[in-house]
Structure 1
Amino acid sequence: MTPIKTIRGLLLTAAVVFSCALVFATHHVVSGLFERAVRDEAMRDAATFADMTFESMFQLMRTGWSRAQLEEFIQAIRRSVDKTQHQIEIYRAPRVAARFGEIVQKEMDEAILRAIADGESRRIDTGPEIRFIHPLRAEAQCRQCHVNADPGDVLGVIDVRQDITPLLETGSRKFLWAFAPIIPVAVVAALLMFVYIRRRLDRAIAGFAQNIRSVSKLSDLKQLEKATLDFGFDEFRPVAHEVRQLTERVRSIAVDKEMLEFEIRLLEKFILTSDVVKDWREYVNRLLIDIDDVMPAYALFSIFKIGDDIFDLEVFWRYAPSDASKQLFEETIKESLGRNPYFACGYAVSIEHNIADSSRASAELVRADIEVQTKSLLVEAPKIGGIVGIGMQAQANADATRWLVVESILSTLLNVVGSVKAIDKYTKDLEYYATRDPLTNLYNQRVFWELLDSEATRSGRHGYKFGLVVIDADNFKSVNDTYGHGFGDVFLQEVAAKIRGAMREDDLLARYGGDEFVAILPETDLAGTVEVTQRIMHAVTALSIETPGGARVSGALSIGMAVYPDHAVETKDLFLFADSMMYRAKADGKGRISVPTEQDVVEVFRSLSEKSILILGAVEARGVIPFYQPIVNPRTGEVEALEVLSRIRLEDGTLLVADAFVAIAEKMGLMHKLDYILMERALQAAAAANYQGLLFLNMSPRALVLNDFVQQTRRIAAECNFDPSRIVFEITERETIKNMALLERFINTLRGEGFRLAIDDFGSGFSSFHYVKRFPIDFLKIEGDFILGMKHNDKDRALVRSIVALSRDLGIRTVAEYVEDDEVLAKVVEQSIDLAQGYHIRRPTPSIIEALDVHICPSIQNRRDAKRKPASLPTLK
């Protein structure tokens, strides 16, 4: 059924239906009343008739009538109602039948039997027939004849019936004819009512439509709001009120168009640039100034979680507040935090105030204003950057619409400020740990070389001497293996602290790697160097640390030294000399300080000379041997690449690892030739083994200044029929970062030939980020110390997580180095690092076939290798 869609149609239909329904309802009610009256009258007649019959029977029975008289009486009663709507029956009760015998009578129904049993009259008024049942109860005088009955016993029943159907039909016809003229009168009355109501509605609607048509511009909404809206009926007054409210809301939204435009402009500024990260507080200050232009504000504040129940509250003031305002604002915010369930268990907070414009003083604040006019957004758990809340304290009389926009801005700022703070924190951590060792917080190897070069330049210019000390913690591997890496880390931290404490304030200490430390002692001769090393030895020897099992471990050191310029002028030679002295101390029984003599200088440099001759021989005889270490997918164990490592075979058959000759070869200017030989032999072996994966090759910094490096690598790849896109050159920032322009040209040329690039030891130096920014990098090999540190150090995990996220955003694949056990491998998988390499996966091997034999489960393969052959030399580059 199609619904009626107009008020006019609804009123007309309702009027007609209502009038007809009223007539028929009236007819039905009156007819019902008439029927009830007829039934009541018929029941009274039946009762009267039954009483009269009983009285007649009683009078006759008193005369002592005979059976024949009784039957004649009953027949007479029946004949008297033959031509009427009445019926009458007289029934003899069982007690009388037992005394005087049965008479001819109808079979008793249930109603007759119940009347005989309880002696109660019954009125049955259902259907077209009414019925009155009157029991005949014995009295005292009845016992003259009915000797078997007592007074009150039922002797018989008179049943009177009447069919009232003719009376009801006659009455219904009369009522129908009586109501027929009323129907048109009711319909006409309803139509007149409809016309009246419609005219009143039409006038009200026409007036409202006129007011609506008068709105042609935004300012007219105010007139519509003030207009009198009368729909002619009290029931429509709520509609008029809602129309006014709607008009007011629409007008408010239209007036606040500049707020929406402001919000758009503000959102356009939510772009995180390097300048924003560099000084995020200044960024928030500028945002506050922009907000104040539209929504006058005293202050913004943000809350950061920096530790367990420790929070930072950063307050950004529009203008310079007084000390009283600062204190009042702090107290109010703290009270507000105390009411929040998240801070209910207690907390410590440090507060820092920032001022956007110090040229003006801020208005003095009142506590009531702060509490009423502060909008804040607190979260149940710290979000990105540790942010748990943000808020704004505005001036009075700000309307609800403007607060709505402010709340929207706060929701966005919560994420933006949190992101900026997080990036700021990660960036500072990366900057710090680019120069520091995460475990000991000492300078790392990269910074050590920079400091050593700088000190050599300074001392050479001023004619000073300085000492260089190489320190090795004795038996550290045994400590690690016996008590675990966790205790080993604690042990190294304690050793580092003792060494640092025994040195002078301006001495420089770095962790060179593993259990090895290096120290630069400015303006110190050999005697001063010996004195410092003796203090270091005494401090560490006195160290005693309790292990988790209750045992105690003491410290012991092997120390070597060199003095600039007495033992060498070149920094690399100086370090090699000190390093040789340290190894001599270990060879003499450990726990010693090796003080160089003139004879030591001769012997050490004779050894270096021998290595130089060895390197020359390796170049002439092409005696560089490639070793291969697999780089695998840590989730499947599938080998995706091989790193090529350099070895030189000595006359006695032993192998010299790269770390023993690279520095000397670079000093001799021969490293690039060793690299060419290594590359050629590795590509030939890969082609012979039909290896189809990637090859990672270490590139000497010397290659930057060689005009023919790219041509030579292209030639070697072509001769071996090896696709350049399968060759990945690893670069480090050492020495190359000093000439970024040269490096950029070199790398672009290399990429133009199809070769791929990887940054080695990424994170060990902050300059690595310049590489990522400026160069087309394919792989980042994450600094191995960070990878190892993930097992026990939250900072290392955070740094690795940041590097992985950065690489993923830039489309660069990551490689984890130093995967030494199952726990490290699990952390690599957990951090979603793409590739992994290390002793746990497979040690370097001269056979490509063996290097590829890793399969799915590196841990099983590693155990199989351990049974098959003894461990080879460490993989050093």
Structure 2
Amino acid sequence: MAAALAVSIGVALAMYWATADVFDRTVRQSATEMSASLADGTFNAMYQIMRQGWTRAQLNEFLHTIRSQGGADGAKIELYRGSKVIELFGPITQPDADSQVLSVFATGQTISQMHQGVIRYDRPLIAEAQCLHCHTNATAGNVLGVLSIAQPVVALTQKAHQDLFNRLLVIMPIPLLAALLIALLLGDRMGRSLKRLKSAISRVERVEDLAHIRFSDAHTGFSELDDVLVEVDTLTDKLRNLAVDRNLLEFEIRLLERFVITSDVVRDWRRYVRDLLREINTVLPIHGVFIAFAVGDRPPGVELFWFDATDENVAATVSFRVQQQVSETLGVAAAALVPRQHAIEPSHRPVLTNARELEIRTKVLTMDTPPMRGVVGLILPFEHDQSAVARLVIESILSTMLNVVGSVRAIEKHTEDLEFYATRDPLTQLYNQRMFWSLLDYEVGRAKRHDYEFSLLVIDMDNFKTINDSYGHAFGDLFLHQVAEQIQDSMRAGDMVARYGGDEFTAILPEAGETEARMVADRLLSRLRKLALKTPEGQTVRASLSIGIAIGPRHATTARGLFAIADNQMYRAKNAGKNQYALPSPEDSFDPVSPLVLDEQALVDTLINEPPALCYQSIFATQDALTESGPELLLQRVAIELFARVHIEGRWHLAHEFASQIERRGQMETFDRSVITALLQSVAVQQCERLLFVRISPRTIRAPNFLERIAQSADQAGIARNRLVLELNERESLADLTMLDRFIESLHGYGFKFAIENASSGHWIFQHLRRYAVDYIKIDAEWLSHHDRVARDRAFVDSLLGLARALSVVVIATQIQTPLHLAAARSAGIAWVQGDFLAETAPMSAAPVPSV
């Protein structure tokens, strides 16, 4: 009401101000027009007198007359004579001309201004043609004088304002009373509506209470206000679907915290579910949950957790519905899915007696690794009008339980797999090398305690590399798996078989002396002679084994010593013609034999304390590999291949024997760079003018700045970059072809050369030759010496050599160990050769490398 009154007064004042302003402007305009009329009349009277000719006395009388007109509040008239009139007729009594009068003399324009309640109207008296008869010194258009009229308007406006105010004082109460009545009417109607709105808002404690705010039936008498209240209904409906109660929000935050899977959750996920069910019921009524997961080949188990007490009928009915739901989801017969029921402490809510009042909400999880399908469900009270927020909370609960329990079950499966594969080889399912050493150490100690002998077999496949390279790695893996099965089937109950690495196996025969070991070895060789596999091309492939036998503790009292002897005997069987076994004779001495397995800590200590030593093997070129006879063969040294070796546990070890340990520690790039830097700084290498071949690890190509640092080392040593040839094993180069692309491009950009080592007949070598700028490829002479036996391999070799010649790629035959190997390389047209038959590996420190 006060606001309405204030508005009314404000409107009245505004009307008064507007009316007064209009009246003031009208008065000023009227005064100006009156001044103009007065000026015209005065000038006309003066002109009439001047035409008749007048004396100075008449002039003074005229001036006195016009100056005395107007009175105190009337207009005042003043005449100002100009300089040309003064020049002819002399001056008259007149006030000093102010700036406005002077401006009229200067411009010849009439000026009208209001100042301090007085309107000044100054008009110029301009000479016309008829005036020049008297004013002989003037010309037409000259200003002869100024007639100035000052018209006061203050008294007039004050009187008008007073009259206006008196009239408004009579009229003003009418709109004020009208405004007051309207305000009272609006206030009553709006007050009742606002009171209803305030009452509804005061009852809102939760988001669900917004459903009670309804104004669609409100009638305030104002259609606009009714529309606003209807929109309030729409707003509350939207808020109901969007807003979240504080307790629900806090619960969601706690739910997010439960995504953290701790060791306690992994150990007892059922307790996690029970605790979560209690917490859920602080915000939503959930009667129970069920969980079912099928992991791998295991049959699924169903767990049903009740928060509320139920009678037997409800428990049986819900159990049946859960069985059907899980059966449909997991594709398992319902009869095999009887839920295991868990009851939490009483909830103090009524016992559930009607299964029709319950509904089940579920969510399904499917994983490929590990293979797993699961379903979780909530048992809820049936509701027809459930809010969107409640539905979202239920979905988040299901997601949390599904992800957490699913992750726990996956962790359990992964843990079991890790425990299995920590001791098993993934391909053959035999024990792995790590488990082999544990078993061997245990058997050595057990034999000492119980004073009995046992046997160790080291088993190596003959010519497996040829099979792998000829028919591909997939067939090679299949062949390995079949051989592993034959080895396992040849053993006695209780014997322990392991895959040591690659195509090498071991077998521990507890409480088995020499006689039993020979029987097992004979049985194994016999079974392998019968093994034959068909290749994808339909060819039959066979394999044989070389077996080394050592008897503990007769031949050695330590696990590593015993392994070294068995490994030595395996090579002895291989050198004797393969497909047989060997064991030490009574005359053999084993004192000088050193373990062939490196101690990793000893390796690390050695590499920290002293840099690796360098050794080399020469690479030769024949003058004419196709025409020269053996006795006339002339070899020319064209390159050397550099090797790193370390002295550990009494013997020298080449880099390939410990590369895996270095790679596991992530130090391969550092090792490769240190070896190449030491090579480039070697005086013997600097004196040699031939090519320098160095093998690097595939991990090294990922190292940033590796090539840049090698280039700097070569420049500092004064060795031309194009003498350094970096080698990569063909199989190892397949790990990351995109990275290899960038590496080879950078390698040639720095001026180095590139070689592929251990090239095979597989299609990847052809891909490399097509894709990359390869300078050299190395082929194992053992493979060359056997390729004539298989037409497919012969075709691949001929194609590879022809492609290499077309691309100007130099082919090098490596591992030349016998005259047969050399003859095979020469017959294939390979001019560059390398191997112990031509020159053994020698230390760089022994003597400078000869250039020829």
> Which TM-score bucket, shorter chain as reference?
0.3 to 0.5
The normalised TM-score by structure 1 is: 0.46
TM-score, reference length from structure 2: 0.47
